[in-house]
Every structure is written in C-alpha cells, then in structure tokens.
Structure 1
Amino acid sequence: MSDATAQGDARQSWRFLLLYALAWAGSAIAYVPFLTVLLPVRVTELAGTGDVRMLGFLTFGGAIAASIANIGFGWLSDWTGHRRVWIAIGLVGNVALLLMVPAAQGLVELLAIILGWQLALNMMMAPLAAWAGDYVPDGQKGLLGGLMAFAPAAGAITTAFVTIPGLAGPDERLWIVAAIVLTCVAPVLIFGAPTQFPELLRDDLGGPAEAVDAAKPVKRMWAARLAVQVAEAALFAYLLYWFRSIDEGVTDAEVARIFGFVLAAAVPLALLSGRWADRAGRPILPLAICAFIAAIGLSAMALASGVASGLALALAGYVVFGLAATVFLSLHSSQTLRVLPRARHRGRDLGFFNLTNTVPSLVMPWLTIAIVPVFGYSGLMALLAALALVACGLLASTGRALIRRN
C-alpha cells in the first residue's frame, strides 16, 4: 500500500479535529478584536489627535515582529519536537500581555507591550498551525480547512460581542477576550490526544532532483495565496471608502453587517468544498475555482462605479469576492500542509507561508496610494482581479502536478 493510499484511508478522531478547530478559532479571537477595536481605542486615549499616525507605527512594527516571530517559533517547535509546550507558553503570554495593555501609560510602553504580545501570539499560532500537519492525514485536510473557516467568523462575532454598548468598559473588554481565548485554546492542549500517523512525520524527499520538483508546488501555492491576500487586505482596509465612493450614504454599520454575513455564509461553503475535495481526491481544484470566482467578483466591483445600479453591483461583487476569498484562505491553510515536503521543517516553512498574511498589510497602503489617485478604485479592483486570475492559473498547474505525482 502506498503512503498516499495509507493517508487517504487514515482518519483522525473527530474529537481532535473539533478541538483543534476551536483552538484555531481562539487564535483568531486573540487578535481580531484587539487589533480592529480595542487597540485603536487605547491609542486614542494616549495619543489624542495623533492616534491615526501612531496606530500606523504600532501596526507596522507589530507586523514586522509577527513575521519574524512566526518563522522563529515555528522553527523552534520543529527543533524541539514539542509543539504543545510552545502553544501553551504562547497562550499564557498572550493572555498576560493583553491584560497588561491598560497599564501602559505612554506610547513607548504600549509599543513594548504590543511587540511582546505579537511574539506570544505567534509563539502560540506557529506551532498550532504545524501541529495540524503532524496529525491530520491528507484525506481529511479538506475537512480541516472547512473547520478552520470558523476562525474568521469567530473573530468577528467576538468583536461584535465585546463592543455591545453597556456590556463592559475598555479594560473589561480585554479581560473578556482573554477569557474567551483561554477557553478556546486550552481544551486541545489538555484533551486533544490525537491519533499518531508516523507517515506524517517522515520527510518525502529522496535526492536533489526530487527536492527541486517538490519545491515547485510550494512556490506556486505561496504565490497564489499572496495574490489573493493582497486583494483581501485591500478590501479589509478600504471597503468602507470604496462603498462611499459609489454611494456616500453607506454607513460603517452597514458595511460591518455585510462583512459579518460574508464570514458566516462562508463557513458551510468551506465545509462542503473541503469534504468534496477529500472525497474526490482533488485537493487543489476548489482553490483554483475560488480564485476564479474571486476574480469575477472583483471585476464586477471594478465596473460598479460606471453603471446606474452601481451600489447593487458593488454589493453583489463584494459578496461574491468575499465568499470565494474566505473559502479560499481557509482551504489553502490546510492544503498547504499537503505540499510541504519536509516534516522536520514544517513549522519553519509555514512561517514563511505566514508572510503572505503580513506582507500585504505592509505594501497595500502604498499600492493604493499609487493607483487610486490616478485610476480610481475601479483601477485598483481591476488590478486585484488580475491578481486573482494569476492565482487561479498557478493553482491549476499545481493541481495537475499533484495528480501526476500521486
């Protein structure tokens, strides 16, 4: 029996899969409410009218720290061979530093806490991402990706919950987030007990020629995710401004509801797509289809400002793009584990894949500044649609290569 067949027949327990999905959702809850709402509130308290500029510095510094820490702690978890310990230490550090934010009396102190928090967050997330590769067989990676789609929705729901008027003050909100993160992540560390599959911990490469051949799908998967993440980062940062360029009456509450709907609706779609990929043995095909659909949505968004029913077309285009991109990113996270050839470097290599999450946030503001004043938001959406089509092409070739290999 081949290793591919053995992995296809192997099954991880539902208990571990569900606990892992809960922990992955907890990792999203650890940063989404904090970075989108709670940190800006604290920065405004300390910086006053200079809050936007200072928040930009904090976000930039945090993204750099996150990029380095994710690679570093992924490598450390590879080297030590004990991912659970690193996840636990990162969890404790994350919770502790969240609760230290109110103690910062100046921007320098707040920056130090943010950098420490980013280190702790990635100390938890990098080994947690690699842990799935150690214990989830290829035949369940589509299901894993579907379950991971709960994470963005969980982050958005928690943000809405902690900001309910009258529920809690700024400091108490941090306590609520910390408690939820602890409740989500700790169970998999205590009760996970995954079934072990030795074939998942063995390197697949036999020699230099095979190493070069195995690197091609990895590079294509990395580039495809980067292309889609650039589009996702642009829409995350400028969605409200873009809607208002079409209709000035659009409110931030309406945009938040649309965003929440997309994240929630993407969960069942990701689960269905992931299960189909497992059963059909076509792990990359849903990714290519999602990238193509995302390009269609972005194309509709590019045309929205030039038609009479612009707002309706803009809304439809964004929903199409948002659903496709959310499903894409969830399934991509799990299927990436399939193409990484070196089990002993899995955490480090996933850290390099994590750069596709942080780099777009660093380059997107400059790209927008260069394009929007000259070509408008329509030009930006057209460029993003082209990037999504590039991702589709890269993934189509990756899927064919994996079929030939198997």
Structure 2
Amino acid sequence: MALYTLAMAGGAIAYVPFLTVLLPVRISGMAGDSDVQWLAYVTFTGAIAASLGNIAFGWLSDITGSRRMWILAGLVLSSILLVNFAHVERLNTLIALILAWQLSLNMMLGPLGAWAGDCVPDHQKGMLGGLLAFSPALGALSGAFITLPGLAGPDTRLWLVAVLVCVCVLPVLLFGKPVKFPELHDSAAPVQMTAEQSRRARRLVVRMWVARLLIQISEAALFAYLYFWFRSVDTAMGPSNTAQVLSLVLVAAIPAAMITGKWADRQGRPIFPLAVCAAFSSIGLAAMAVSFSLTTAIAAYVVFGLATTVFLSLHTGQTLRVLPKPHRRGRDLGLFNLTNTGPSLVMPWIVLALVPVFGFPILLALLACLTLAACVLLLTLGDLR
C-alpha cells in the first residue's frame, strides 16, 4: 500500500500544479486580455475528456485483465505530451493538446484507481482511504516546489512535473507485487444474492454516488472562490495567507484521515465516518455563512476543509468496497469519477449567478444544505456497516 499511495500521489502531481499554476500562466501569456475566457474553454473541454477517458480506460483495463500495462502506457504518453506544451504557440493547438493529454493522463489514472480494488482487502479499505489523503497534499506541495523563485523557467517546470510523476508512479509498476485476494473477484463471489441483498447493494452504491456529488459540489464552489470569500470578510487576507490556510488543512487532513480510516477498519463501520464528515462539512459551511471576522472565518473553513478532505479520501477507499461488479471495477469507478469532474463544469456559473446578487452567505447556506443532505443520505441507510 505504501508504493500504491506514492503512485496515487504521483497522479495528483501530474495534474494539480499544471492545471492550477502552469496552464493558467501559459494561457495568460498567449491570450492576453482574453485569458479568463480561454481558460474556461480549456478547462471545460479538458474536464469532458478526463471524464470520458477515465471511464473508457478503466473499462479497457477490466476487459484486458491488466491494469499495469495501461498505467505504464498512460504514464509515458502523458509525460511526453506534458513537456510538449512548451512548443505550443497557438491557442487552438493548446486545446487539442489538452484533450490528448487528459485522455492519456486518465489512461493512467483510471486503471490505477481500480487496481487497489483488486488487491486491497475490504478490512483495509479504511486505511487505504486514509493514505490517499497524501495525494492532494503532495499535489499542492509540488506546485509550490516547482514554482520556487530561481528553481526553473516555465518550460523546465513541465519537465520537473513529468520527472516527479515518473519517480512516484514507476516504483509500484516495477517493484509492486500485490497479492490477489479471491474474495475481491467474481470467482469467489456468492453464487446468487437474494433480492433484498441486491436492492440494498444498489441503494448503497446510488447513495454513495449522490453523497459524493453533493460534497464535491461544495468543494468545487469554494476551490476557485475561497480567496474572494476571505477578501469579502476581511480585505487584509491576501493570496499568500489563503495559500497557507489551504496548505494547513491539506496537511492536517493526512493524520485525521489515517486515524479515522483505521478506526473504521477496526470497528467494521466503513460508512459511519463518511456521514460524520458530511455533518461537520455542513457545520463548517453554516459557520462560514455567518462569519464576520477573519478569525471565525478561518476557523470555520478549517472545519469544512478538514471534514471534506477526510470525507473524499475515505470515500475513495470505501467506493472500491461497494462497487457491485468486480469484473467491471474500472468502468464503475470511472462513473464515480463523474462526481469529481461534473461539479467543476457547472459550479462556476452557479457561483456567478448567486454571489453578485445575494452575496457569499446565501451561497454558503445553500452548500451547507447540500452537505447536510449528503449526511442524511448516508445516515438513513439503516445498517451503516
């Protein structure tokens, strides 16, 4: 699991610094005053390609019965395409290369995400989810590292990202020797589920999907606009301060997720911590909606950010536990991945429609209701094991 955790962190490093720092800077230099509009076009088309690629390549890895081959191919192709952004001079070419890069990146990410479902037993899924909290933290730290003043120029930074990704992903491909657990595959599955068991399995999957979608909507809404919200509370809050708060939350979420995941494994209650995290996300958002000082605003965001990060990490591990068809694990995980990309496509427009008219408190109150609904969906499952 250590090698797998490192590889998943490499997956985050592959896209976080590029999409949040390197790509916007490159578009700004090419598009001038139209940079925001072109960034929206690139982000929108890239998210669609990522969604389709994750499903398609996860499914192909199911069909071929090999995850490792697709992960390696995606690693090589995405790295080659990434460094070639240095040679792009036209915006239309940039969009085409983004589409190809997103597809090749998800050729790696789709099978990599499903691989853990093949090799990590259910009683360790909580610990797996806790370890996955390293991914967003290392993704953010890699962005800070490659942009250190004097370390590298714009083109060299692309090479740095590619090298970091290879260093993280290759060890699990070269040295990882996962043990296959028969109970995780169809060959050891029960001959036939009862009608009640089948209904409950479908209900659990649907509620897990919807709950993650509701949490991701809140996360996506604040991802791009957190700085503006802090500024609306206190103009003294600058971008550096905002970045420090974000880093604090991501780093603190690592031990919180690991402890919570380990508890879930020991107690045999994988869903209950998700419901608790969703409840705290709602509390944090409600507190943010009524915050009128910078101190309370930061404290409220820390509650929301910690709960949300832990929820998303643990949810990823437990999703592998509840997917109904082991032989289509990659495809189904790709469908769950739509909860990650979908909100990013629609939330910016909802924010722009609400905030100028009603302000941030109304938006935050709406998001608090959505995360509370996620909590209720999970709590009302009846059997939270």
Q: TM-score, normalised by structure 1?
A: 0.92
Rounded to whole Å, the distance in 2 between the matches of 1:137 and 1:278 is 11
Paired letter, 1:340: L
Match of 1:401 in 2: 383
Rounded to whole Å, the distance in 1 between the matches of 2:230 and 2:343 is 21
8 Å Cα contact 1:225/1:329 also seen in 2: yes
**Secondary structure of residue in 2 paired with 1:143:** helix
8 Å Cα contact 1:217/1:401 also seen in 2: no
Rounded to whole Å, the distance in 2 between the matches of 1:222 and 1:387 is 14
Instruction: Establish whether residue 334 from structure 1 lines up as the match of residue 317 from structure 2.
Output: yes
Q: 1:90 aligns with which of 55, 71, 74?
A: 74
Match of 1:5 in 2: none
1:189 CA drift (Å): 0.6
Deviations 1:211-255 (A, max 9, x none): 333111000000000000011111111001111111122111110
Match of 2:65 in 1: 81
Match of 1:378 in 2: 361
Instruction: Establish whether residue 45 from structure 1 lines up as the match of residue 21 from structure 2.
Output: no
Structure-2 change in CA distance of 1:249 and 1:205 (3 Å): farther
Rounded to whole Å, the distance in 2 between the matches of 1:301 and 1:205 is 50
Match of 1:236 in 2: 223
Match of 1:388 in 2: 371
**Unmatched segments (≥5 aa) in structure 1:** 1-16
8 Å Cα contact 2:71/2:111 also seen in 1: yes
Instruction: Establish whether residue 23 from structure 1 lines up as the match of residue 3 from structure 2.
Output: no
Rounded to whole Å, the distance in 2 between the matches of 1:321 and 1:389 is 12
8 Å Cα contact 2:281/2:305 also seen in 1: yes
8 Å Cα contact 1:302/1:381 also seen in 2: yes
Match of 1:107 in 2: 91
8 Å Cα contact 1:205/1:341 also seen in 2: no
1:208 CA drift (Å): 8.3
8 Å Cα contact 1:204/1:342 also seen in 2: no
8 Å Cα contact 1:296/1:321 also seen in 2: yes
Instruction: Establish whether residue 35 from structure 1 lines up as the match of residue 22 from structure 2.
Output: no
Deviations 1:88-143 (A, max 9, x none): 10000111111100111101111111111100111101101110000000110010
Deviations 1:346-378 (A, max 9, x none): 111001100000011011012112221232100
8 Å Cα contact 1:205/1:342 also seen in 2: no
1:395 CA drift (Å): 1.4
Q: TM-score, normalised by structure 2?
A: 0.97
Rounded to whole Å, the distance in 1 between the matches of 2:113 and 2:194 is 27
Match of 2:111 in 1: 127
Q: 2:346 aligns with which of 360, 363, 367?
A: 363
Rounded to whole Å, the distance in 1 between the matches of 2:295 and 2:194 is 54
Instruction: Establish whether residue 301 from structure 1 lines up as the match of residue 280 from structure 2.
Output: no
Q: 2:250 aligns with which of 263, 267, 271?
A: 263
1:57 CA drift (Å): 0.2
Rounded to whole Å, the distance in 2 between the matches of 1:380 and 1:208 is 44
Q: 2:182 aligns with which of 171, 189, 198?
A: 198
Match of 1:353 in 2: 336
1:249-260, aligned counterparts within 5 Å? 249-260=236-247
Rounded to whole Å, the distance in 2 between the matches of 1:56 and 1:174 is 21
Rounded to whole Å, the distance in 1 between the matches of 2:57 and 2:43 is 20
8 Å Cα contact 2:272/2:384 also seen in 1: no
Structure-2 change in CA distance of 1:227 and 1:205 (3 Å): farther
Instruction: Establish whether residue 165 from structure 1 lines up as the match of residue 149 from structure 2.
Output: yes
**Secondary structure of residue in 2 paired with 1:276:** helix
Match of 1:212 in 2: 199
**Secondary structure of residue in 1 paired with 2:237:** coil
8 Å Cα contact 1:146/1:270 also seen in 2: yes
Rounded to whole Å, the distance in 1 between the matches of 2:202 and 2:57 is 22
Rounded to whole Å, the distance in 2 between the matches of 1:375 and 1:51 is 27
Rounded to whole Å, the distance in 2 between the matches of 1:232 and 1:27 is 19
Deviations 1:142-162 (A, max 9, x none): 100011000000001100000
Rounded to whole Å, the distance in 2 between the matches of 1:109 and 1:126 is 25
Paired letter, 2:338: L
1:4-15, aligned counterparts within 5 Å? none
8 Å Cα contact 1:146/1:273 also seen in 2: yes
Rounded to whole Å, the distance in 2 between the matches of 1:253 and 1:177 is 22
**Secondary structure of residue in 2 paired with 1:121:** helix
Instruction: Establish whether residue 278 from structure 1 lines up as the match of residue 265 from structure 2.
Output: yes
**Secondary structure of residue in 2 paired with 1:328:** helix
Paired letter, 1:246: V
Deviations 1:236-283 (A, max 9, x none): 110011111111221111100100110000000000000000001111
Rounded to whole Å, the distance in 1 between the matches of 2:162 and 2:78 is 8
| Residue-pair matches, total | 382
Instruction: Establish whether residue 69 from structure 1 lines up as the match of residue 53 from structure 2.
Output: yes
1:206 CA drift (Å): 2.4
